Every structure is written in structure tokens, then in C-alpha cells.
Amino acid sequence: QDQLAESGGGSVQAGGSLRLSCAASENTLRNCMAWVRQAPGQAREVVATIDRYANTNYDDSVKGRFTISKDNAKNEMYLQMSSLKPEDTAMYFCAADLTTFSCSPFFDRLIARASKWGPGTQVTVTV
């Protein structure tokens, strides 16, 4: 699995939950990994990051609602999303910064440096 592949998106009512998965190679998961979302007409924004040692970081808009994790044995990364809001509606991508094991706390830099991206999975939250 040399490419990234997201799954688990869908449509859910506000207040509901979804879990996204990202299949990746063992080598890719050793680097900084991120979930990034993009709503129509808006720039991409980092939602959460996880580094080689499973240290995590979150955008303020999702803290306490989203949890990023990974399973090295399964070569997968996850994003558990709960208490979903309509403003969470977006295409969600998994991304990897292959230049580092740790993740920059400056999310704009992370987006610029990420060199591997999945095709994305759509999440739609309805009222």
C-alpha cells in the first residue's frame, strides 16, 4: 500500500458520529500524518495530526470532539468524529509529511510540506 486511501465518509445528522480510516504503508505511518479537510470554496485546513510516537494535535474547532489514532499493525490511521456539526461538512483527506517523524505545530507549514495525499472522502453533516 504505497498510496493513501480514505474510507468511512458519508452523511450524518448533526450530533452524530463517523469514523474515517486511512490505509497507508508501514513506512508512511512512521512519518507525520494528518487529517485535512476542505469545504467548498475554502482552503484546506488541518484537523488533526499524529506523529511517529503517536503524539497528537488538534485544531481548536475539533478539540474534544475528534480523536486521531493509528494502528501500526493494520497500517491504518483513523479519525473518530463525534458531536458532528454542519460546519464539519467537507472533503476529508489523509496526508503525510515524509520529511519528518514529528509534526509541525504550524498547520499551514504542514499542508505545504505534505507530499502524499489520498483522494479524499466526503463528510456531510445535516441539520
Element (H, E) at 73: none
Residue pair 105/60 in contact (Cβ under 8 Å)? The answer is no
**Distance separating alpha carbons of residues 77 and 42, to the nearest angstrom:** 25
pLDDT in tens for each of the 127 residues of the chain?
578 999 999 999 999 999 999 999 999 999 999 999 999 999 999 999 999 999 999 999 999 999 999 999 999 999 999 999 999 999 999 999 999 999 988 998 899 999 999 999 999 999 9
Q: How many Å from the N-terminal Cα to the C-terminal Cα in the chain?
A: 37
Residues in CB range of 64: below 8 A, 6 or more apart: none
Residue pair 49/67 in contact (Cβ under 8 Å)? The answer is no
Sign of the CA dihedral running 52, 106, 114, 50: positive
Task: List the grid coordinates of 97.
Answer: 509529511
